[in-house]
């Protein structure tokens, strides 16, 4: 997440918010209260309602669709409190990246204010932040597989396992003693930052997974 977050107060005016977005190069800002509690988010889309509805009658008909009615209400807004989308979709600071990504997808938002243990704003995570874990070179990923997985966890001799990485896709080949070792190596590799896929093509001398399956059936 980005810890230095640009925020606005509920009473900040439309023009000041627009200027802030342009000057800071951001597309949205959290609206926070005095205790750093996030009460909403104002985005470029919220501000554009005024442009879209400029000159239109803000007193819409009774049968106007809810979305259109909400857009007209925002078009008439002049402060962050009137313009913001509320309640804001937020996440605690300990949430895994996958959960944050799923939350963005579910609510169709591009950013999530991050809350600390006291419920106050501590940062913001955007879609581009979630993609940073994949912005690693193939050499960096290969080094992580060798040092972190093969040597660090499984205590395997890197000479026995060949690790190749192409555009983030890792291929594991060579030989290990047990089939479960090959499966664990692939699973741990798949969890590394920057890995987009894993092909496990290792030979093994003993299939211990069959024994575990038989034991489970006997129990």
DSSP 164-175: EEETTEEEEEEE
Of the residues 133, 159, 177, the one at which a domain ends = 133
Same domain flag for 25 and 59: yes
> Does 5 map to a domain?
no
Rounded to an integer, the average pLDDT of 108-123 is: 93
Q: Would you state the pLDDT for residue 215?
A: 46
Of the residues 133, 156, 178, the one at which a domain ends = 133
Same domain flag for 118 and 147: no
Same domain flag for 160 and 210: yes
Tell me how far CA of residue 203 lies from CA of 9, 24, 200, 217, in angstroms.
Answer: 61, 54, 9, 26
| 99, pLDDT greater than 90 | no
The most confident of 26-35, 44-53, 140-149, by mean pLDDT:
140-149
| 39, pLDDT greater than 60 | yes
Question: 175 is in which domain, residue-wise?
Answer: 138-218
Beta strands in the chain (DSSP E): 28-32, 38-43, 91-92, 111-115, 121-126, 161-166, 169-178, 197-206
Q: Above pLDDT 70, what percent of the chain?
A: 84
Q: Would you state the pLDDT for residue 49?
A: 75
CATH number at residue 195: 3.30.1340.30
> Does 28 map to a domain?
yes
> Does 113 map to a domain?
yes
Peptide linkage before 87 cis (omega within 30 of 0) = yes
Same domain flag for 41 and 145: no
| 169, pLDDT greater than 70 | yes
Q: Can you spell out the DSSP letters for 30-58?
A: EEE-TTS-EEEEEEHHHHHHHHHTTTS-S
Phi, psi dihedrals of residue 65, rounded to the nearest 5°: -60, 150
Rounded to an integer, the average pLDDT of 130-134 is: 79
pTM of the model: 0.61
> Does 192 map to a domain?
yes
């Amino acid at each position: 997440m980005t810890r230095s977050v640009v925020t606005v107060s509920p009473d900040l005016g439309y023009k000041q918010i627009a200027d802030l977005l342009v000057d800071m190069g951001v597309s949205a800002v959290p609206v926070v209260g005095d205790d750093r509690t996030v009460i909403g988010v104002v985005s470029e889309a919220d501000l554009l309602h005024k442009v879209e509805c400029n000159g239109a009658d803000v007193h819409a008909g009774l049968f106007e669709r809810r979305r259109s009615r909400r857009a007209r209400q925002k078009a008439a807004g002049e402060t962050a409190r009137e313009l913001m989308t509320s309640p804001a979709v937020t996440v605690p600071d300990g949430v895994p990246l996958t959960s944050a990504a799923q939350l963005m997808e579910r609510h169709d938002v591009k950013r999530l204010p991050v809350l600390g243990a006291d419920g106050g704003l501590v940062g913001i995570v955007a879609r581009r932040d979630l993609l940073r874990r994949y912005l690693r070179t193939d050499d960096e990923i290969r080094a992580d597989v060798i040092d972190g997985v093969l040597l660090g966890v499984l205590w395997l001799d890197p000479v026995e396992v060949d690790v190749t990485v192409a555009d983030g896709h890792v291929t594991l080949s060579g030989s290990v003693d047990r089939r479960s070792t090959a499966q664990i190596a692939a699973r741990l590799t798949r969890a590394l930052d920057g890995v987009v896929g894993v092909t496990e093509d290792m030979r093994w001398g003993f299939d211990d997974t069959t024994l575990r399956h038989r034991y489970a059936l006997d129990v």
